[in-house]
Amino acid sequence: MTVSKFGRFLVSKEELCLTNVLQVGQSFRWIFDEKLNQYSSSLKVGNDEKYALVVLRQNSSNGEDFVEFGSVGGDCELGTLDSHLRNYFRLDVSVNDLYSTQWLPRDDRFKSHSPSGNRILAQEPWETLVSFICSSNNNISRITKMCHELCSKFGNKIGTLGDVDYYSFPSSDDIVERSSEEELRKLGFGYRAKYIIDTAKMMVEDKTANGYTSDTQYLMELGSKLTYEQLREHLMRYSGVGPKVADCVCLMGFKMDHVVPIDTHVSRIAKRDYNFQAAKNKIKDLSKKYTEYPITRKKINMELDLTRLMFVEKWGEYAGWAQGILFSNEVGNANGATSTGKIKKRELEVKPEVKEENTTVNSKTKRVKRQSY
């Protein structure tokens, strides 16, 4: 099967860099073909719950940068795909405008961190939820492997490109009906196997009780009605979903642009570069506020939540995007997508040297890997 027709949108590499956006831990299912300089994945496009096999290429000619896109077999109209991808890549938002009007004036640290085409995606919420449940205490390479495994074992076959078969991301029903904790453990999911099965079961109950058959539609409806605090509370009811995973889902699955997921790296950045310390009285105020949110209160770490609030205050309404840029500069390279579905090391144009430095955290001395340019 091939792509018969391509569409394109013009976008500079400073606004969108596919390598940065698709291979660094937001999305885990894009496959990169080095020879063709082409990304491909199955993607739920349009409102009919159907997956399409989508192909992307980033190029430039005559000084114009653009992304070409198409669907294999043409099973998706080009106009539909165009508007879907404009939303998926959030082309309504200019990271460079945000950089110069919001982040740079508010935070000197951004002097040394330009966007470089890093941006936050608008992904399908159910896939985002399950993917980030897989991400706990894990590395990108294995998360990628697990996501592909979920699709090929429990999704539906969508099409073939080259010698690779593509599958839909399994719905909660697919997972409940076709999988089990035992099988997921055999496939290498470890203790996340139980989280995924329990979450899928709960999702089936939830959406059924609310009259939905589609995970996407149920969750999107929820997202349109609830505030951030309410949605996070709802998401943290699910097994394996703590504050970090819930925040990732809010940011990348629900377009809540101000949400800053706090992981070990961001927490370290806050202490090291922003001299952050949680004040006792602020902890008290916050825990009072969260009496309305029992699950949040149970699962949250007050210090980390105050870290999140500090960043939101500092960076403003697109704070989550700002975090993405600092994070990519802090962690930089990682493992990424492949051409065969197997995992191998991601190659970078320039390999930054990694050096060690000492940082003091909680009066303990800890060695930390950090990039230098």
Partner DNA sequence: CCTGGACCTCGTTG
Partner DNA sequence: ACAACGAGGTCCA
Distance CA 230, CA 215 (A): 18
Q: Would you say 158 or 260 has its CB closer to DNA?
A: 260
Q: At what angle do helices 140-154 and 125-134 cross, to 10 degrees?
A: 130
- Bridge-partner residues for 161, per DSSP? 164
Distance CA 119, CA 141 (A): 21
Q: Maximum CA pair distance of the chain? A: 62
Site for DNA in 326-345 (CB under 7 A): 327-328, 331, 334, 345
Size of the site for DNA (CB under 7 A): 47
Site for DNA in 7-26 (CB under 7 A): 24-26
Distance CA 132, CA 28 (A): 10
Torsion from C-alpha of 291, 294, 296, 297, nearest 10 degrees: 60
Q: Would you say 13 or 297 has its CB closer to DNA?
A: 297
Contact predicate 155/52, CB 8 Å: no
Binder of DNA out of 272, 283, 339, 370 (CB under 7 A): 283
Site for DNA in 212-271 (CB under 7 A): 236, 239-246, 248, 261, 263-265
Minimum CB–partner distance for residue 334 and DNA (Å): 6
**Active site includes 284?**
no
Site for DNA in 150-209 (CB under 7 A): 185, 188-192, 195
Structure tokens at 124: 């399908």
Distance CA 233, CA 249 (A): 12
Q: At what angle do helices 302-315 and 280-289 cross, to 10 degrees?
A: 90
Catalytic residue among 111, 244, 280, 364: 244
Binder of DNA out of 8, 106, 272, 297 (CB under 7 A): 297
Q: Which string of x and - marks every residue 129-148 that binds DNA (by CB under 7 A)? A: ------xxxxxxxx------
Q: Would you say 51 or 189 has its CB closer to DNA?
A: 189
N- to C-terminal Cα separation, the chain: 43
Q: Would you say 72 or 175 has its CB closer to DNA?
A: 175
Distance CA 316, CA 197 (A): 37
Residue 157 parent element (H or E): strand 157-161
Structure tokens at 153: 């074992």
**Binding segment (CB under 7 A) for DNA, from list 151-159, 207-215, 309-317, 323-331:** 323-331
Q: Would you say 70 or 117 has its CB closer to DNA?
A: 117
Q: Would you say 10 or 354 has its CB closer to DNA?
A: 354
Minimum CB–partner distance for residue 75 and DNA (Å): 31
Residue 149 parent element (H or E): helix 140-154
Binding site for DNA (CB under 7 A): 24-26, 135-142, 185, 188-192, 195, 236, 239-246, 248, 261, 263-265, 283, 287, 290, 297, 299, 301-303, 324, 327-328, 331, 334, 345, 369
Residues annotated catalytic, as ranges: 244
